[in-house]
Amino acid sequence: MNETLQTAVNGISSRFKVQVSEFQGDVTLLVPNEQIVDICRALHDEFGFDTLPLETAVDYYPQTSPRFNMVYGLYSVKAHQYLFLRAPVDGDTPHIHTVEEVYKSANWREREVYDLFGIIFDGHSDLRRLEMPPGWEGHPLRKDYPLGYEEVQYTFNFDEIDLRKPKGER
């Protein structure tokens, strides 16, 4: 771990309840859901992590609490260092506070996560769908959202599958 990163990790773990892990050189802090904004603000203001290149989520369905992990990748332009944060999000009430006040770029990243995972960002200024059309049902990147393959019909099971097929108005 490099010096800047070590200072930041020490500074954050002395103040907040975080778990530090390292995999292939990427340092990740597992942070409590409620403190995500405070931790981001501390890293931004005090430790020079001035930009947020990565913000996404991972779905661990069928596990329910936590069902999701929010992943934040913070970057320090001066030190050329990445620091990753993970915040657990519960499956029944997928809520987390937005980090938009600290990093403006979170605005669209969070809209994307809301669109594709259905995680609600409290305090977000403009929580609309980003990729899918407005009015779309469901959140496609959830693991319980089907990929949408059509079943292959053969002569012996043609009628059986035909009954199950959704009949849209075309």
Question: Considering the rule CB under 8 A, would residue 20 count as an interface residue with another protein?
Answer: no
Question: Considering the rule CB under 8 A, would residue 2 count as an interface residue with another protein?
Answer: no
> Residue 130 to residues 21, 77, 145: CA-CA distances in angstroms?
32, 28, 18
> Quick one: 39 or 81, whose CB is closer to another protein?
81
Residue 131 near residue 116, CB atoms below 8 Å: yes
Residue whose pair of structure tokens reads 């990147």 in the numeric block: 141
What totals of helices (H) and strands (E) does the chain contain, helices first? Answer: 4, 7
- Contacting another protein (CB under 8 A), which of 70, 89, 99, 103? 103
Q: If binding means CB under 8 A, how many residues of this protein chain bind another protein?
A: 46
Region near another protein per CB under 8 A, out of 6-14, 91-99, 127-135, 154-162:
127-135
**Residues in Cβ contact with 141 at an 8 Å cutoff, skipping those fewer than 6 apart:** 57, 59, 116, 117
Which residues are at the interface with another protein (CB under 8 A)? Answer: 23-26, 28, 50-54, 56, 58-59, 71, 73, 77, 80, 82, 84, 103-105, 107-109, 112, 116, 125-126, 128-137, 140-141, 145, 147, 168-170
